[in-house]
Structure 1
Amino acid sequence: MLTRRLLLAGLGTVAASPTLAQQDDWRQSIREIRFGVSSAENEAAAIARNQPMVDYLAKRLGVPVKIYRVSDYAGLVEAMRADQLEFSRFGPAVYSLGRRVLGDKLQPLFRDVDNNGQEGYYSVVVVRADSPYRTVADLKGKSFAFADPNSTSGYAFPAYFLRKQGFDPQAHFSGTVFSGGHDNSVLALVRGQFDGVATYQVNENSGVVQRLALRGMIPAGATRVIWTSPLIPASPFSTRANLPQGLKDAFVAAMMAMKDEAPDVFKAFTDGQVSRYAPAKHEDYLDVIAVTEELEARRKQKPGG
């Protein structure tokens, strides 16, 4: 059972559109929609990306919409379990955790399709561009950071597949830590605090490193990828099964229409790297669930696990 303290801090509320004449039935019981965002992204960046989407949803759906930041990835599951969130985008490993905790109460709705038609992304091991490290083998005895224990690309996939390739993280690196988020990992790497980190990228033009460089938070070309995982299915936007179907349908319709109805909002929310959304189903994440379950079983086998 999760015991982590949930830290919810609202980023902003938008009033419902006063021009909406016809009220659907679900609006009689749902007076506010809460969308969960993990604190893995820094607050200023989260506001810049999400606030236009909040504005759009409030006008489109006709009820106030609020963004909530949570303390970590597992906080999204806790909030959904407590009926404190209506919608959130879950990383695949967080979705796996959510299904273990919530079962069918957690429902996937849709996921990104990038500009190349790809419905997924990759975990990558990144080093500083001026370092001598060219392969994971070169990081023997070096310091390494994962992002979060419930991150797919920042922990589950690299821990699982590196071990399958003969690099047990606990034995191969001099020490491993959880940085608290992808931004933290890459920023610390560039500052010289770690020799290697695990993060994610969609392609060579889109990912954590590219986003931080675009915002001037790290120099362009400051890092280099030395390892890439198999494809991870794109993170599902998810909801609670106990919500009115009319609300879920309205949310999906609004998000699907955002690119055409509010192209600037869509571009800001997706960093310009998403072409459209596609339906997501539970079966899409069975491989990720298998990876996370094996890691959990391994953890429990350790003394004190």
Structure 2
Amino acid sequence: MPTRRSVLAGLAASSLTPALAQGSDWRQSVKEVRFGVSSAENEAGAIARTQPMVDYLSQRLGVPVRFFRVSDYAGLVEAMRADQVDFARFGPAVYALGRRVLGNKLQPLIRDVDNQGQEGYYSVLLVRAESPYQSVADLKGKVMAFADPNSTSGYAFPSYFLRKQGIDPKVHFSGTVFSGGHDNSVLALVRGQFDVVATYQVNAEHGVAQRLAQKGMIPAGSTRVLWTSPLIPASPFSTRANLPQGLKDDFVVAMNAMKEAAPEAWKSFTDGYVSRYAPARHEDYLDVIAVTEELEAQRKARSG
């Protein structure tokens, strides 16, 4: 993993001169840019992955860029509402929550396109590779872990689509818990604390389990996919509508230039599986919004 010093040295060596939006004068009013990161992620991993990108953006934008860490996914929405965060990568369900809370104040900007040209990922249910379970039906009476109540792949999509298949997780499993994050779920699964967990996977080569195996945190091949959701649109990098347009434009230009201008930062931040960024539109997430709204309506009906 590149160090902060090596990334900055590489940026200096490449003589970065920001090719940014013409006539940008936002630096007169914006002296620092804050990139929101949820601590629902593994903290050390999130910092190691994101810090080189933050250092690159500081160089590229010409103002300091720093982390703003929040307690969970919903915390990103609250931080954006309070104008404490300028940019963040929102999971689709978190984006849906953000639109419910902030309306048009929350704007999607760009999203990942992977090395196969896919603009999305999947929710998967993982079991231990040696377990006897071959279907969700086999897991009746077992213990399941979701990641976070505002996670798309770690809660909303599996909860919604399992019900569509006639399986209510609250009835089917003997217990359902929230682990606090995707890494937590998979690590606990391998340790035998849960029988099945909901997490995400882009393809057979890239996902939470594959990343943890590459880092030596779990044995390679120690998990197995039991169920896969429909495609989830890639998580949008989002911003506040009340920021200067020049800053938003410059952020998009900088992110699109990172692969060529700062390849070490790009590799660190994307794990090497992203080929480019594509524009993200609110309309891309209407299906996810519909899923989260139905789940919220079901929750209110049960509690009422």
TM-score by length of 1: 0.92
Conserved? CA contact 1:53–1:269, under 8 Å: yes
Distance 2:265 2:190 in 1: 31
Matches within 5 A, 1:98-177: 98-177=98-177
Distance 2:157 2:42 in 1: 23
Conserved? CA contact 1:20–1:62, under 8 Å: no
Indicate the SS of the match to 1:30: coil
Conserved? CA contact 2:42–2:181, under 8 Å: no
1:242 offset after TM fit, Å?
A: 0.2
Conserved? CA contact 2:124–2:227, under 8 Å: yes
Matches within 5 A, 1:1-80: 24-80=24-80
C-alpha deviations, 1:136-172, integer Å up to 9, x for none?
0110000000000000000000000000001100110
Aligned residue identity for 2:298:
R
Equivalent position of 2:261 in the other structure: 261
Distance 1:20 1:148 in 2: 40
Aligned residue identity for 2:148:
D
Distance 2:153 2:40 in 1: 13
1:40 offset after TM fit, Å?
A: 2.4
Aligned residue identity for 1:98:
G
Unmatched 5+ stretches in structure 2: none
Distance 1:119 1:177 in 2: 30
Distance 1:23 1:233 in 2: 33
1:92 offset after TM fit, Å?
A: 0.1
Conserved? CA contact 2:34–2:84, under 8 Å: yes
1:69 offset after TM fit, Å?
A: 1.6
User: Aligned pair count?
Assistant: 290
Distance 1:110 1:60 in 2: 18
After TM superposition, the runs of 4+ consecutive aligned structure 1 residues lying more than 6 A away are 19-23
Equivalent position of 1:233 in the other structure: 233
Aligned residue identity for 1:111:
R
Indicate the SS of the match to 1:167: coil
Equivalent position of 1:87 in the other structure: 87
Conserved? CA contact 2:53–2:269, under 8 Å: yes
**Once superposed, what is the RMSD of the aligned Cα atoms?**
1.8
Unmatched 5+ stretches in structure 1: 1-10
Distance 2:133 2:40 in 1: 27
Matches within 5 A, 1:216-227: 216-227=216-227
Distance 1:20 1:89 in 2: 25
Identity rate, percent: 79
Aligned residue identity for 1:275:
S
- Matching of residue 251 in structure 1 with residue 254 in structure 2: no
Distance 1:276 1:256 in 2: 7
